[in-house]
Amino acid sequence: MARVLSGIQPSGDLHLGNYLGALRQWVQNQDRDDAYYCIVDLHALTQAIDPDELRRRTLETAAGFIAAGLDPEKVTMFVQSHVVAHTRLAWLLECTASMGELNRMTQFKDKGRGNDAVKVGLFTYPVLMAADILAYDADLVPVGEDQRQHIELTRDLANRFNFQYGDVLVVPEATIPAVGARVMDLQQPDRKMSKSIPSPLGRIDLFESAEDTMKKVKKAVTDTGDDVTYDPDGRPGVSNLLDLLAAATGGSPATLATNYTRFGDLKADVGTALVEMLAPLRARYTELMSDPSELTAVLRKGAEKASIVADATYDRAAAAMGLLAP
């Protein structure tokens, strides 16, 4: 059984990119894996967020995990800040990571480099993420394409730690889905769909109404020329729609393209396919949010189980580095 860990920030509504890049593969493999999935609330603190909003979104994200199909009886679901070993291990790893390698992280370059007011937490963000993963001796980390560089850093940190202190940490691998690994924004198809892009038209939120989904797909930006061809570099708009259709219905985007001569027909089919895929998720989500006490219980139990695994890894790492046992 592979040990698996992944996480999602509760910094906004879960969207189609989160589902196709991450959540869907978590659900597909939940019978196979020994999996730990966390809501990374500490990472959400690296960008300004209102405290009440963070609390609310943490619970909503937990509901989203279950609504997407995760079964808390099969996987361990928890909130990152409830398991103290994450930040303890992150400190140990910070004492092995270099400024240079963190400076090369594209996320930091995009969001903060060169700005003196940027928070230290945003800079050290990838080390906390490495701690999330390494604390569970994870073999596999199912994520979307945008997290690849972070997993590479995690591997570097683990290898370096092991070289210096002995065989303590498991070196993980990213698993990135064949379709849906990089869902693009519907309004700016050269940018990934993201919680932080303000235009709501560009993003399909997982639990939005069918009408909203149809409307957004209909308004999606397509490329110049009016033929339907699959060419992600040259024609990112229409290619993104074909990717979404492939992700929702199976089949390959290039083959699906041959069925269409008009954007309008393609958009109608993409909209319908997405609505059909998401309708059961939305129904479960609404039900779950009507009784948050159940969610709280799931998260408490998850944190207890996760702490046992993560504490043991922390203890191993701390001892290897020479910290005196209490």
Among all residues, which ones are annotated catalytic? 111, 192, 195
- Which one, 68 or 257, has the nearer CB to ligand TYM? 68
Q: How many CA atoms are closer than 13 Å to the CA of 291, on its beta-carbon side?
A: 5
**Nearer Cβ to ligand TYM, position 29 or 294?**
29
The residue written with tokens 């700005």 in the block is 115
| Residue 9 Cβ vs ligand TYM, minimum distance, rounded to whole Å | 4
- How far is 180 from 230, CA to CA, in rounded Å? 15
User: Which stretch in 97-105, 143-151, 223-231, 256-264 sits in contact with ligand TYM by CB under 6 A?
Assistant: 143-151
Burial tier of 62 (Cβ tally within 10 Å: 0-12, 13-18, 19+): buried
SS3 at position 295: helix
Residue with tokens 């992700």: 247
Q: Checking phi first, is residue 170 left (phi over 0); if not, alpha (psi -120 to 50) or beta? A: beta
Distance, in Å, from the CA atom of 159 to the CA atom of 135, rounded to the nearest integer, reads 14
Using DSSP's 3-state secondary structure scheme, residue 128 falls into: helix
- Considering only residues 4, 22, 70, 242, which one is a binding residue for ligand TYM as defined by CB under 6 A? 22
Rule CB under 6 A: say whether 40 interacts with ligand TYM: yes
> Which of 58, 147, 222, 313 lies at the binding interface for ligand TYM (CB under 6 A)?
147
If phi > 0 it is left, if psi is from -120 to 50 it is alpha, else beta; for residue 137 that is left
Could you tell me how many residues of this chain bind ligand TYM (CB under 6 A)?
27
> Looking at 91-99, 126-134, 272-280, 296-304, which segment touches ligand TYM (CB under 6 A)?
126-134
- Binding ligand TYM (rule: CB under 6 A), the pick from 3, 4, 13, 17 is 17
**Cα–Cα distance for residue pair 79/295, rounded to 1 Å:** 11
Nearer to ligand TYM, 40 or 228 (CB): 40
Minimum Å gap between C-beta 196 and ligand TYM is 9
Min separation Cβ 220 and ligand TYM, Å: 14
Q: For residues 298 and 19, what is the distance between their CA atoms, to the nearest angstrom?
A: 21
Terminal alpha carbon distance of the chain: 33
Among 85, 89, 105, 129, binds ligand TYM (CB under 6 A): 129
What token pair was written down for 77? 């679901």
Cβ distance to ligand TYM smaller for residue 150 or 282: 150
What is the number of the residue whose Cβ is closest to ligand TYM? 21
Rounded CA-CA distance 246/323 in Å is 52
- What separation in angstroms does the CA of 210 have from each of 206, 215, 216? 10, 9, 10
Considering only residues 45, 66, 90, 143, which one is a binding residue for ligand TYM as defined by CB under 6 A?
A: 143
| Residues from 54 through 83 that contact ligand TYM (CB under 6 A) | none
Q: Other CB atoms closer than 10 Å to residue 280's CB: what's the count?
A: 12
For position 18 contacting ligand TYM by CB under 6 A, the verdict is yes
Cα–Cα distances (Å) from 69 to 19, 27, 62, 306, 315, in that order, read 11, 6, 11, 20, 34
306 binds ligand TYM (CB under 6 A): no
When asked if residue 8 is in the footprint of ligand TYM (CB under 6 A), the reply is yes
Indicate the residue among 56 and 262 with the shorter CB distance to ligand TYM: 56
Contact flag: residue 135 with ligand TYM (CB under 6 A): no
Determine which residue in the list 21, 236, 237, 302 makes contact with ligand TYM, applying CB under 6 A: 21
Out of 57, 182, 216, 235, name the contact with ligand TYM by CB under 6 A.
Answer: 182
- Is residue 146 at the binding interface for ligand TYM, with CB under 6 A as the rule? yes
Binding site for ligand TYM (CB under 6 A): 5-9, 17-18, 20-22, 40, 43, 129, 132-133, 141, 143-144, 146-147, 150, 181-183, 192-194
